[in-house]
Amino acid sequence: MRKLPWLGLLVVVVCLAAWEAAARSRPDLAVHFPPASAVLRALGGIVWSGDLLAHALASLRRFAEGYVLASVLAVGAGLVLGLSRRLHTLVEPLIELLRPMPSVAIIPVAILFLGIGDQMKIAVTVYACSWPILLNTIDGVRSVDRVLVATAATFRLSPWQRFWKVMLPAASPQIVTGLRVSLAIALVLVTTSEMVVSNDGLGYYVLDLQRSFQMAEMYAAVVALGLIGYGLNRLFVVLDGRVMGWYHGATRREEIP
Nearer to other proteins, 95 or 244 (CB): 244
Q: Measured between alpha carbons, how far is 211 from 230 in angstroms, rounded to an integer?
A: 26
Closest separation in Å from C-beta 136 to other proteins: 18
Q: How many CA atoms lie within 13 A of 221 on its CB side?
A: 26
Nearer to other proteins, 32 or 248 (CB): 248
Cβ atoms within 10 Å of 71's Cβ, excluding its own: 21
Within residues 116-145, the interface with other proteins by CB under 8 A covers 145
210 to 249: interface string for other proteins, x by CB under 8 A: ------------------------------------xx-x
Distances (CA, A) of 70 to 43, 96, 126, 169, 183: 32, 18, 5, 20, 10
Closest separation in Å from C-beta 107 to other proteins: 40
Residue 5's SS3 state is coil
Distances (CA, A) of 124 to 4, 23, 129, 194, 215: 37, 37, 8, 11, 29
Q: Measured between alpha carbons, how far is 137 from 235 in angstroms, rounded to an integer?
A: 21
Nearer to other proteins, 38 or 144 (CB): 144
Within residues 69-98, the interface with other proteins by CB under 8 A covers none
User: Is there binding between residue 10 and other proteins (CB under 8 A)?
Assistant: no
Closest separation in Å from C-beta 143 to other proteins: 12
Q: Measured between alpha carbons, how far is 185 from 195 in angstroms, rounded to an integer?
A: 15
142 to 181: interface string for other proteins, x by CB under 8 A: ---x-xx-xx-xxxxxx--x---xx--xx-x---------
Residues that bind other proteins (CB under 8 A): 145, 147-148, 150-151, 153-158, 161, 165-166, 169-170, 172, 246-247, 249-250, 253
